[in-house]
Amino acid sequence: MTASTHVPAKGSLILVTGASGYIASWITLYLLEQGFSVRGTTRTATKGQWMKGMYAARGFDGFEYTVVSDLENEDAFGDAARGVDAIIHTASPFHWNVTTPDDFIKPAVAGTLSALRAASAAQVRRVVITSSYASILENKEPLGEFTFTEDDWNQQSIDEVEAKGTGAWRMHWYRASKTLAERAAWKYVEDNTPPFDVVTICPPYVLGPLIHDVPSPDALNTSAANWYAYLSGQKSADDAIAPAGILCDVRDVARAHVRALLLPEAGGQRFGVATRTFTIQTLLDHVTGNDKLMAAFPDTVRGPPGKPVPPQNWFDCSHSLKVLGIELTHESKTAIDMTESLVEKQKGWSKPV
């Protein structure tokens, strides 16, 4: 089998799991723009219907949805995958409504394996999985002294969760879930010689505009909720200046998924997509001077502008970006476009129910 047989046929049907999500909604939009049809899984029909309407309003009628509510069901995606040519698996818990590490780990691992089993049964060509830099980076000090690449694995979070259980830092619960899910995917490929190849995408902290359904502020996805907390004055200026993180625009992350689906040579690889180190303050600097945005968010946290980003370890994705051919969005565009999209979302929130 040559590598190119793993690329889905032009215009074919692609399954996107977790299609009502922040990143998945952009992936779906780009697939539709490229002439593919998309079947998305959502947890409720209401979300599926909303997404269908949103794509139709943008001129695309190639989106259908199917409800898959339980990632831990062994055959969760069996029906959903029937007749598709490839799968992009994004569904995985990334929220803080959890009480044990297993609330992250079980659905993350089981959902990934369900997607792969369904891919085998449906004889798809390629599976692209949304992993995370959480499966790569470990906490290492002194900050700023270490560079990670796609060759690295985060064993630290797994060890912390194994040693301390619920006593481990909650971020390690999530990071362990992403590491274990991605490892399970590569092991599945090794053990089963499936008819498809796998590609994983490892984004860092993802920000940028929202096109998915957000009926209220508490329905915001985790990374957008953090930005909104600064726009709505719920966090302090001190929180905005440290610690530094690593940023990528949601549109670049989505483009990376689509490129990974379509590039023959992407099969079997992990790809990172990281723009730069940042603090929330560096992003606030791009919006606090914008009168229109500040009129919509008058309580925005206003810390000291121009404060340099403190040292942070780096995730070097230069190899991935070269292979995928992605040009990264400037952080000013990420901050402004995200805030503009929240201005629009907020108009819906203020309407009486």
Residues that bind ligand NAP (CB under 6 A): 18, 20-24, 43, 47, 71, 90-94, 107, 130, 132, 178, 203, 205-206, 221, 223
| CB of 226 or CB of 234, closer to ligand NAP | 226
SS3 298: coil
- Residue 106 CB, shortest distance to ligand NAP, in Å, is 9
Minimum CB–partner distance for residue 92 and ligand NAP (Å): 3
User: 95 or 292: whose CB is closer to ligand NAP?
Assistant: 95
Smallest gap from Cβ 113 to ligand NAP, in A, equals 14
Shortest distance in whole angstroms from residue 308 CB to ligand NAP: 23
Report the nearest approach of ligand NAP to the CB of residue 270 (Å): 13
Q: Measured from the CB atom, is 131 or 288 closer to ligand NAP?
A: 131
- Smallest separation (angstroms) from ligand NAP to the CB of 317: 13
Three-point CA angle 316, 319, 321, nearest 5°: 90
CB atoms < 10 A from the CB of 76, how many?
A: 24
**Count of Cβ atoms closer than 10 Å to residue 35 Cβ:** 11
Helix (H, G, I), strand (E, B) or coil at 89: strand
Determine the Cα–Cα distance for residues 272 and 206; give it in Å rounded to an integer: 12
Query: Closest CB to ligand NAP among 50 and 146?
Result: 50
Measure Cα distances from 66 to 15, 38, 49, 52, 261 in Å. Answer: 10, 11, 10, 11, 21
Minimum separation from the CB atom of position 4 to ligand NAP (A) = 28
Report DSSP letters for 202-223, one per residue. Answer: E--EEES---S---SGGGS-HH
Measured from the CB atom, the residue of 160 and 249 that comes closer to ligand NAP is: 249
72 or 145, CB closer to ligand NAP?
72
To ligand NAP, the closest distance from the beta carbon of 132 in angstroms equals 4
Spatial neighbors of 315 by CB under 8 A, at least 6 apart, are 133, 136, 137, 147, 148, 149, 204, 246, 272, 274
- Residue among 17 and 288 whose Cβ is closer to ligand NAP: 17
Q: How far is CA 164 from the centre of its chain?
A: 27
The angle at the Cα of 90, spanning 87 to 91, to the nearest 5 degrees, equals: 115
Q: What is the enclosing helix (H) or strand (E) of 160?
A: helix 156-164
**Taking the CA atoms of the chain, what radius of gyration do you get in angstroms?**
20
Cβ nearer to ligand NAP, comparing 195 with 239: 239
Q: Token pair for residue 38?
A: 């998309």
| Residue of closest CB approach to ligand NAP | 21
